[in-house]
Amino acid sequence: MAQTLAQFDYPVGDVALLRPLSPPAVAIFSDRAYLRTEMAEDAAAAGLRVTRMAELGALLAEAEQPLGDLVLVDCPVLEGADLAALTRLDMRAARAGTQLVVSTSIGSLDDVFGCLDQSEAHILVSPSRADRIIALGPLLTTEGSRVRELSDHDRMSLLRLTEQVSQIALQLESLSSASPDSAVVKASAFNFDGNGARDPASQRLVRKQRPALPDPRHVRKIIRQRQMRARFFEGELFADPAWDMLLDLTAAQAEHNRVSVTSLCIASGVPPTTALRWISQMSELGLLCRAEDQTDRRRAFITLSDQATHAMAHYFAEVVSEGLVI
């Protein structure tokens, strides 16, 4: 039998008729014709069904057309109308359960991030073809319209696996072109036990009364020390985006400054698309929060969660109490 039972759906009734399930439907919007074709080829190769290919203007003209299972949007530069369309698309995708993948440039990242606050969209920054292919992965792991709930351990393992696959893809691309930027993902500064739960010692720290955040000048000094290593060694040897972002946010919070998603991506020391994956997963783990700009609803910032703030404050307090030099 060429197809398994999992590949068929069963209509309700006394007679169980088998019919093949349709592949997930994909809509593609981009003003660059060659890119629409390229994304369509990759989606089809992944077993997806491309139902719509159009320019960005179609998002405005066809506001009520069904979205399907996945929408791919390429918007390296955004005008006012594009921002409005992207905001509406985000709301529609959230209501319909549609997965949204948006490609943009580093210059437009803050605007795009500000528009996408409901659908849990996957944002790519100046992505390679490999990045776009990897972004299709979540759709292929869904069961119907529901995604299996992942544990913290699963999330971190999946993120590291994704980064490893990305590195392999980039290395393969480099065989026929200039070597692209890449990053080696190391473990987060937060510890997990063998079952994926946080280290009990860390949990006890969070429950204690929180000390004051460290002097931001001390944190900035640590950040500079970490950055100086790249002058003498390959930066990839020490890539730890989770810790670098936590340090930057800790210093900013102590300074009463707000951090944009673009600034945080730069602070991570890894390519923006990689940094955005970490931001997404750290948010899922309850370490980072999205904070809307009260004066401009189109903008949003990233902050430490209360949980992460407690952990960072206790970490630095213990470093000082132990007399350790960082």
* pLDDT, greater one: 295 or 14: 295
Q: Which helix (H) or strand (E) holds 30?
A: strand 25-30
CATH 3.40.50.300, applies to 21-140: no
pLDDT in tens, 161-210: 555 555 555 555 555 454 444 443 333 444 444 444 444 444 444 445 67
Would you report the helix, strand and coil content of the chain in percent, each value rounded to 5? 50, 15, 35
Domain ranges of the chain: 21-140, 152-321
* Model pLDDT, residue 160: 57
Contact call for residues 56 and 112 (beta carbons, < 8 A): no
pTM tops 0.75: no
Distance of CA 237 to the CA centre of its chain: 22
Task: Provide CB contacts within 8 A for 213, sequence distance 6+.
Answer: 250, 253, 254, 309, 312, 313, 316
Region 152-321: CATH code: 1.10.10.10
* Model pLDDT, residue 23: 84
* Model pLDDT, residue 326: 58
Mean pLDDT over 220-232 rounds to 90
Measured distance CA(91)–CA(117) in Å, rounded = 8
Measured distance CA(72)–CA(49) in Å, rounded = 13
Average pLDDT over the chain, rounded to whole? Answer: 78
Per DSSP bridges, beta strands 300-304 and 259-260 are antiparallel
Percent of the chain with pLDDT strictly greater than 70: 69
* pLDDT, greater one: 307 or 298: 307
Reported as a pLDDT band with limits 50, 70 and 90, residue 325 is low
* Model pLDDT, residue 192: 43
Reported as a pLDDT band with limits 50, 70 and 90, residue 309 is very high
